[in-house]
Amino acid sequence: MTAATLTHVGRDLAIPRESEGFDMPAMASKMWRPMLAMGLMAVAAGVVVGAVQATLDNSLSVSQVAAWNAGVLFLGIGLLLSAVTFLLATILGELRDGGTSVQEALGEKALILKRPLTGKLFPAAMMMGLMTLLAALVIGFIQAAKLDTDPAAAADIAAWVTPLRFAGLALLFTGVSLALATIVRALRFQASRIQDIAAHRAD
Protein backbone atom coordinates (compact mmCIF):
# COMPACT_ATOMS: atom_id res chain seq x y z
CA MET A 1 0.00 0.00 0.00
CA THR A 2 1.34 3.44 -0.97
CA ALA A 3 0.43 6.93 0.11
CA ALA A 4 -1.28 7.49 -3.26
CA THR A 5 -3.96 4.96 -2.39
CA LEU A 6 -5.17 6.94 0.63
CA THR A 7 -8.49 8.79 0.36
CA HIS A 8 -10.18 11.07 2.86
CA VAL A 9 -13.71 10.01 3.81
CA GLY A 10 -15.10 12.39 6.40
CA ARG A 11 -12.55 12.58 9.22
CA ASP A 12 -11.02 9.20 8.38
CA LEU A 13 -8.57 7.80 5.86
CA ALA A 14 -9.73 5.10 3.46
CA ILE A 15 -7.91 2.59 1.28
CA PRO A 16 -9.10 0.31 -1.53
CA ARG A 17 -10.41 -3.02 -0.24
CA GLU A 18 -7.72 -4.93 -2.14
CA SER A 19 -4.95 -2.94 -0.41
CA GLU A 20 -5.78 -4.04 3.11
CA GLY A 21 -3.12 -6.72 3.55
CA PHE A 22 -3.40 -9.15 6.48
CA ASP A 23 -7.04 -10.04 7.09
CA MET A 24 -7.25 -10.22 10.89
CA PRO A 25 -11.07 -10.47 11.04
CA ALA A 26 -10.92 -13.67 8.96
CA MET A 27 -8.55 -15.22 11.50
CA ALA A 28 -10.56 -13.87 14.43
CA SER A 29 -13.77 -15.45 13.10
CA LYS A 30 -12.09 -18.85 13.45
CA MET A 31 -10.49 -18.18 16.83
CA TRP A 32 -13.24 -16.86 19.11
CA ARG A 33 -15.03 -20.19 19.51
CA PRO A 34 -11.90 -22.17 20.58
CA MET A 35 -10.96 -19.35 22.96
CA LEU A 36 -14.45 -19.39 24.46
CA ALA A 37 -14.35 -23.17 24.89
CA MET A 38 -10.89 -23.13 26.48
CA GLY A 39 -11.86 -20.30 28.80
CA LEU A 40 -14.97 -22.11 30.01
CA MET A 41 -12.97 -25.30 30.55
CA ALA A 42 -10.28 -23.48 32.50
CA VAL A 43 -12.81 -21.78 34.77
CA ALA A 44 -14.64 -25.08 35.29
CA ALA A 45 -11.35 -26.80 36.12
CA GLY A 46 -10.53 -24.08 38.64
CA VAL A 47 -13.90 -24.52 40.34
CA VAL A 48 -13.45 -28.30 40.53
CA VAL A 49 -9.94 -27.94 41.92
CA GLY A 50 -11.27 -25.48 44.49
CA ALA A 51 -13.86 -28.03 45.59
CA VAL A 52 -11.15 -30.67 45.93
CA GLN A 53 -8.96 -28.21 47.84
CA ALA A 54 -11.75 -27.77 50.38
CA THR A 55 -11.55 -31.48 51.23
CA LEU A 56 -7.79 -31.53 51.90
CA ASP A 57 -6.62 -31.92 55.48
CA ASN A 58 -2.95 -31.03 55.00
CA SER A 59 -2.49 -27.26 55.36
CA LEU A 60 0.60 -27.31 53.15
CA SER A 61 -1.30 -29.03 50.34
CA VAL A 62 -4.13 -26.53 50.70
CA SER A 63 -1.68 -23.62 50.39
CA GLN A 64 0.06 -25.21 47.41
CA VAL A 65 -3.18 -25.74 45.52
CA ALA A 66 -4.30 -22.20 46.33
CA ALA A 67 -1.00 -20.85 44.97
CA TRP A 68 -1.59 -22.12 41.43
CA ASN A 69 -5.34 -22.55 41.17
CA ALA A 70 -5.90 -18.79 41.19
CA GLY A 71 -3.72 -18.66 38.09
CA VAL A 72 -5.94 -21.24 36.38
CA LEU A 73 -9.05 -19.18 37.11
CA PHE A 74 -7.42 -15.93 35.96
CA LEU A 75 -6.24 -17.62 32.76
CA GLY A 76 -9.77 -18.88 32.15
CA ILE A 77 -11.13 -15.35 32.48
CA GLY A 78 -8.34 -14.14 30.20
CA LEU A 79 -9.27 -16.68 27.53
CA LEU A 80 -12.91 -15.58 27.76
CA LEU A 81 -11.89 -11.94 27.31
CA SER A 82 -9.73 -12.99 24.36
CA ALA A 83 -12.81 -14.64 22.85
CA VAL A 84 -14.67 -11.34 23.27
CA THR A 85 -11.83 -9.49 21.56
CA PHE A 86 -11.76 -11.92 18.65
CA LEU A 87 -15.54 -11.63 18.32
CA LEU A 88 -15.25 -7.83 18.20
CA ALA A 89 -12.65 -8.21 15.45
CA THR A 90 -15.11 -10.48 13.62
CA ILE A 91 -17.75 -7.75 13.88
CA LEU A 92 -15.25 -5.31 12.34
CA GLY A 93 -14.81 -7.73 9.45
CA GLU A 94 -18.57 -7.97 8.95
CA LEU A 95 -18.86 -4.17 8.91
CA ARG A 96 -16.03 -3.96 6.38
CA ASP A 97 -17.44 -6.65 4.09
CA GLY A 98 -21.00 -5.30 4.35
CA GLY A 99 -19.82 -1.81 3.45
CA THR A 100 -17.80 -3.19 0.55
CA SER A 101 -20.83 -5.06 -0.80
CA VAL A 102 -23.03 -1.96 -0.63
CA GLN A 103 -20.45 0.18 -2.43
CA GLU A 104 -19.97 -2.40 -5.18
CA ALA A 105 -23.75 -2.80 -5.59
CA LEU A 106 -23.97 0.95 -6.15
CA GLY A 107 -21.23 0.77 -8.76
CA GLU A 108 -18.75 2.69 -6.61
CA LYS A 109 -15.13 1.91 -5.83
CA ALA A 110 -14.99 -0.18 -2.66
CA LEU A 111 -13.14 1.77 0.04
CA ILE A 112 -12.51 0.59 3.58
CA LEU A 113 -11.30 2.33 6.70
CA LYS A 114 -7.52 2.49 6.92
CA ARG A 115 -6.74 0.62 10.11
CA PRO A 116 -6.57 3.25 12.88
CA LEU A 117 -4.13 3.15 15.77
CA THR A 118 -6.72 1.51 18.01
CA GLY A 119 -7.13 -1.25 15.42
CA LYS A 120 -3.40 -1.91 15.49
CA LEU A 121 -3.12 -1.84 19.27
CA PHE A 122 -6.02 -4.00 20.43
CA PRO A 123 -4.59 -7.34 19.14
CA ALA A 124 -1.26 -6.54 20.81
CA ALA A 125 -2.93 -5.62 24.11
CA MET A 126 -4.91 -8.87 24.05
CA MET A 127 -1.83 -11.00 23.37
CA MET A 128 0.25 -9.22 26.02
CA GLY A 129 -2.52 -9.73 28.58
CA LEU A 130 -2.84 -13.41 27.75
CA MET A 131 0.92 -13.95 27.90
CA THR A 132 1.02 -12.17 31.26
CA LEU A 133 -1.63 -14.52 32.66
CA LEU A 134 0.21 -17.56 31.29
CA ALA A 135 3.40 -16.36 32.95
CA ALA A 136 1.54 -15.78 36.21
CA LEU A 137 0.20 -19.35 36.06
CA VAL A 138 3.72 -20.75 35.71
CA ILE A 139 4.91 -18.53 38.55
CA GLY A 140 2.05 -19.88 40.68
CA PHE A 141 3.39 -23.41 40.25
CA ILE A 142 6.87 -22.19 41.22
CA GLN A 143 5.40 -20.53 44.30
CA ALA A 144 3.63 -23.76 45.23
CA ALA A 145 6.87 -25.72 44.97
CA LYS A 146 8.72 -23.23 47.17
CA LEU A 147 6.10 -23.41 49.92
CA ASP A 148 7.63 -26.71 50.97
CA THR A 149 11.31 -25.82 50.61
CA ASP A 150 11.53 -22.02 50.99
CA PRO A 151 8.41 -20.46 52.56
CA ALA A 152 10.01 -17.01 52.67
CA ALA A 153 10.63 -17.02 48.92
CA ALA A 154 7.08 -18.26 48.37
CA ALA A 155 5.76 -15.34 50.42
CA ASP A 156 7.81 -12.92 48.34
CA ILE A 157 6.35 -14.36 45.14
CA ALA A 158 2.82 -14.15 46.55
CA ALA A 159 3.34 -10.43 47.21
CA TRP A 160 3.66 -9.61 43.50
CA VAL A 161 2.11 -12.45 41.50
CA THR A 162 -1.46 -11.36 42.33
CA PRO A 163 -0.89 -7.79 41.05
CA LEU A 164 0.69 -9.37 37.97
CA ARG A 165 -2.50 -11.33 37.34
CA PHE A 166 -4.60 -8.19 37.62
CA ALA A 167 -2.20 -6.42 35.26
CA GLY A 168 -2.84 -9.16 32.71
CA LEU A 169 -6.59 -8.66 33.07
CA ALA A 170 -6.14 -4.91 32.73
CA LEU A 171 -4.34 -5.42 29.41
CA LEU A 172 -7.14 -7.67 28.18
CA PHE A 173 -9.81 -5.14 29.14
CA THR A 174 -7.72 -2.48 27.40
CA GLY A 175 -7.77 -4.62 24.27
CA VAL A 176 -11.56 -4.92 24.47
CA SER A 177 -11.90 -1.14 24.91
CA LEU A 178 -9.62 -0.45 21.94
CA ALA A 179 -11.57 -2.92 19.79
CA LEU A 180 -14.83 -1.17 20.70
CA ALA A 181 -13.26 2.19 19.86
CA THR A 182 -12.27 0.76 16.46
CA ILE A 183 -15.85 -0.38 15.86
CA VAL A 184 -17.04 3.18 16.58
CA ARG A 185 -14.54 4.47 14.00
CA ALA A 186 -15.73 1.86 11.48
CA LEU A 187 -19.38 2.83 11.95
CA ARG A 188 -18.53 6.51 11.55
CA PHE A 189 -16.58 5.71 8.39
CA GLN A 190 -19.49 3.75 6.92
CA ALA A 191 -21.86 6.65 7.56
CA SER A 192 -19.43 9.14 6.00
CA ARG A 193 -18.89 6.91 2.96
CA ILE A 194 -22.64 6.59 2.35
CA GLN A 195 -23.03 10.37 2.68
CA ASP A 196 -20.22 10.92 0.17
CA ILE A 197 -21.81 8.56 -2.34
CA ALA A 198 -25.21 10.20 -1.89
CA ALA A 199 -23.73 13.68 -2.30
CA HIS A 200 -21.82 12.60 -5.41
CA ARG A 201 -24.97 11.19 -7.00
CA ALA A 202 -26.99 14.28 -6.07
CA ASP A 203 -24.50 16.40 -8.02
pLDDT tens column, 91-148: 999 999 998 888 888 888 888 888 899 999 999 999 999 999 999 999 999 999 999 8
Q: Please report whether residue 78 resides in a domain.
A: yes
pLDDT of residue 2: 47
Q: Please report whether residue 1 resides in a domain.
A: no
Nearest to 140 by CA among 74, 80, 83: 74
Q: Please report whether residue 3 resides in a domain.
A: no
Q: What is the pTM of this model?
A: 0.89
pLDDT of residue 4: 41
Query: Running DSSP on this structure, what letter comes out for residue 151?
Result: H
Q: Which amino acid is at 55?
A: T
Q: Please report whether residue 89 resides in a domain.
A: yes
pLDDT of residue 12: 80
How many structural domains is the chain composed of? 1
pLDDT tens column, 1-47: 444 477 878 788 888 877 777 788 889 999 999 999 999 999 999 99
Containing domain of residue 22, as a range? Answer: 8-202
CATH, residue 93 = 1.20.120
